[in-house]
Amino acid sequence: MKVYTTQEIRNLGIVGHGDAGKTSLVAAMLYAGGVGTRLGRVDDGTAPTDFDEEEISRKISLNLASAYVEFQNTKINLIDTPGYASFIANARPALRVCETALFVIDGVSGVGVQTEKAWEYADEFKRARPRFFVVNKLDKERADFGATLNALRETFGRGCVPFTLPIGSEKNFRGVVDVIHMKAYEFEANGKAREIPLPDEGRGYIDETHERLIEMVAEADDTLMEHFFDAGTLTDDEFIGGIKKAILSGVLTPVFAASATSMIGIAPLLEAVAAYAPNPADLGAVKALTSADPGAEEVERDVTDSETPAGYVFRTIVENFGKITILKIFSGAFKSDATLYNIGKSAQERLGPLHLVQGKTVEKVGEAHAGDIIAVLKLKETSTGDTLCDRGAPIYYEPVNFPEPAINFAIEPKSRADEDKLSGAIGRILEEDQQLRYHRNDETKEFELGGASQQHIETVVAKLKNRYHVEVALHQPKVPYRETIKSRVEVQGRHKKQTGGRGQFGDCKCIFEPLERGGGFEFKDKIFGGAIPQQWRPAVEKGIRDAAGRGAIAGYPLVDFKVELIDGSYHTVDSDDLSFQLAGRKAFKAMIEKAHPVLLEPIMHVEVLAPQECSGDIMGDLNSRRGRIQGMDTKGSQQIIKALAPMSEMLTYPSTLNSITAARGSYHMEFSHYDEAPVHIAQKIVQQAVAEGRVRKEEED
């Protein structure tokens, strides 16, 4: 195939609310551009960018996928992204590398909440400032282009102006009016357009929309604005020539009428993308850093072949034969078998053959130019978020930061065979999905899998089973409770054991007293003289530490207390290190009966971001979870609610927040401190610990 220059490339991130038809639109654009012999469909598993087995079975996109179409001497790279709340964060890498964000809107249900979230993502990456809207599904019952257009303007501003208007509605939707060139088209089933006269019905609105477009183009350029005021309009050359600048400046946001499944309005959309969407160099230099080290200097580099090669990896696909690494070339020209430097991992990588990505298939290409999107196979060190560059001209493009998991589950293999395969299988899935977190909780000894939602975690479980033949069980992770004491007590720990030969003897007197919260553990040797020889006193501390690790009432570590060793006795023959360890344990056991041990629960700092109209319900729910509101703030139309709440009450919070906010809310949670659990809560936990056998009696040996 032809190798396209930077000026001939367009990169589109396809974003929007779930079920708006993004994947269907990508399939239609590919088919209209001559890719394939039939229109790929989501419902029968033939959509070119939904090829993962879980995507096919669930009929939704779970991660981003790349494809491209050649149209009018232009290579249009399309990155299809998920739209459901559990997976929409995967749209962020697409917007990191695309110059244009193309928002797909359901013509029936209108602007979805995840559309607004995707808009916020685009704001994070200024290179995605130019935006297009496609109002899709206009052939469906109750589809309303006018109502959707009004909603777009209310939500995203007056710059939303149609480039195409629908001819007919619902099942009679059959064509579009090209408002720029004032032409009308009807479409055949294969997407081929047939020009027809402009319809008489709605002609006034067509003319009005054309005039509005001219005004918006004039607003983006001072010279054109002067001409507009002088003449009352713009010449055709001024109008057509000014459209791209108006889009680049953000003054104008094109809106297109379409039905992806019926192939209506797709060709005019492709024509507009080729003509008016920016090429990778149009948005100027890209900001980066001189290295991956903290405090590295900020630099800028132009998207041009004349610079040294550098690329940013935004997607990794793991196949049976190895990894497919997909990257955006931010500078320089890439050639097959080149060797580049992974600056974040200080490793050389030989690229091997370059490939173009078409959904799940790849095609070899000898070279690729700045701004293009390519794939390389079987890289050893490189993963998503890495930068590959020339070692002699180092540059580092900061990776996309994904939110911390909203929910965690403990994950347990169902058999020994599953246990042996789990780590490797999870590792491959983690390479593909940057939202996931997997770690071993050293305290609870559980492996925990964190993600955006329960649905997200369930897709991972399904992949483990279907792709890697590993079966696991999920359950809520254990809450890391603690225990402490409330009273100061003096106790004696005496261990004496006599058998036929040498016996065991250790005797200590200790004062136990509570410390302030977070004080940990302190041990002080207050013995004066030789009541206990110096070499055995550390054994008393070790025995107490061991006992404290097992807890006093519910099997959780006892913390925030101080021990003073004040006296004791020993036997010249029978005393040894073990004897004084056991004496320390018995001192701890004697303390439990007098020092009023209590249970401590972890308290989390919670920060919720949600629409202001939901704040009352959110605060009410947090109060019902024993939360304490700490403050409120605003961020645009969003409310930030800060609270402290027990971890045990927040394990099921994600589903509740989604219900309250219609999936428009998000939250962040981190550990704050430990606090004493209410008596009725503590009693339940102690009873559960006894039932599970976690509370063990000290051996009397």
pLDDT confidence of residue 253:
97
> What's the pLDDT score for residue 636?
65
Q: Which fold has domain 286-389?
A: Elongation Factor Tu (Ef-tu); domain 3 (2.40.30)
* pLDDT tens readout for residues 323-372: 999 999 999 999 999 999 999 999 999 999 999 999 989 999 999 999 99
Q: What is the pLDDT of residues 126-181, one digit of tens each?
A: 655 799 999 999 999 999 999 999 999 999 999 999 999 999 999 999 999 999 99
Q: Tokens in use for 504?
A: 């065991």
pLDDT of residue 691: 86
Report CA torsion sign: 663, 665, 670, 672: negative
Of the pLDDT bands very low, low, confident and very high (cuts 50, 70, 90), residue 701 is very low
Instruction: Tell me which architecture the domain covering 6-200+250-276 has in CATH.
Output: 3-Layer(aba) Sandwich (3.40)
| pLDDT surpassing 80 at residue 37 | no
Place of tokens 């685009």: 122
Q: Residue written as tokens 């976690």?
A: 694
The Cα 209–Cα 191 span in angstroms is 25
The pLDDT tens digits for 230-270 are: 999 999 999 999 999 999 999 999 999 999 999 999 999 99
CATH number of 600-683: 3.30.70.240
Residue of higher predicted confidence among 668 and 187: 187
CB 309 within 8 A of CB 349: no
Is the per-residue pLDDT at 203 higher than 60? yes
Confidence class for position 700, pLDDT limits 50, 70, 90: very low
CB-CB contact of 73 with 5 (8 Å):
no
Residues 6+ apart with CB under 8 A from 365: 1, 3, 336, 354, 355, 356, 374
Q: How many CB atoms lie within 10 A of CB 606?
A: 24
User: 620-640 burial, b for 16+ CB within 10 Å, e for fewer?
Assistant: ebbeebbbeeeeeeeeeebbe
More confidently predicted of 212 and 109 = 212
Question: Can you give the pLDDT at residue 476?
Answer: 83
- Across 308-316, average pLDDT: 97
Q: Does residue 340 contact residue 313 with C-beta atoms inside 8 Å?
A: no
Question: In this structure, which CATH number among 3.30.70.870, 3.30.300.30, 3.90.1150.10, 3.40.640.10 belongs to the domain 407-475?
Answer: 3.30.70.870
Query: What is the token pair recorded at 178?
Result: 């090209």
pLDDT in tens, 629-651: 999 988 766 789 999 999 999 98
Residue whose C-alpha is closest to residue 350's, from 359, 362, 341, 361:
341
pLDDT, greater one: 190 or 262: 262
| pLDDT score, position 42 | 85
Query: For residue 502, what pLDDT band results from cuts at 50, 70 and 90?
Result: confident
8-state DSSP, 364: E
State whether residue 672 is helix, strand or coil: strand
240 alpha-carbon distance from chain centroid: 40
Task: Give mean pLDDT, residues 97-122.
Answer: 91
- Identify any residues that bridge with 187 across adjacent strands, giving them in sequence order: 193
Tell which wins on pLDDT, 698 or 134: 134
User: 545-600: per-residue pLDDT in tens?
Assistant: 999 998 999 989 999 999 999 999 999 889 999 999 999 999 999 999 999 999 99
Average pLDDT, the chain: 92
116, 411 Cβ separation under 8 angstroms: no
Q: Decide whether 286-389 matches 407-475 in CATH topology.
A: no
Report pLDDT digits (tens) over 391-413: 999 999 999 988 777 778 899 99
pLDDT at 81: 96
- Could you say which DSSP state residue 17 is in? S
Query: In sequence order, which ranges of 514-576 are alpha helices (DSSP H)?
Result: 537-550
Tens of pLDDT, residue by residue over 167-176, are 999 999 999 9
pLDDT band at 485 (very low <50, low <70, confident <90, very high): very high
Query: Which helix or strand (DSSP H or E) is residue 246 part of?
Result: helix 236-249
The domain spans of the chain are 6-200+250-276, 286-389, 407-475, 482-596, 600-683
For residues 62-83, give the mean pLDDT: 96
Whole-number percent of the chain with pLDDT over 70: 98
Determine the pLDDT at residue 440.
Answer: 87
Q: Measured between alpha carbons, how far is 663 from 677 in angstroms, rounded to an integer?
A: 31
Domain covering 482-596 in this structure, CATH number: 3.30.230.10
As to burial, measured by CB atoms within 10 angstroms (0-12 exposed, 13-18 middle, 19+ buried), residue 700 is exposed
Specify the pLDDT at position 698.
45
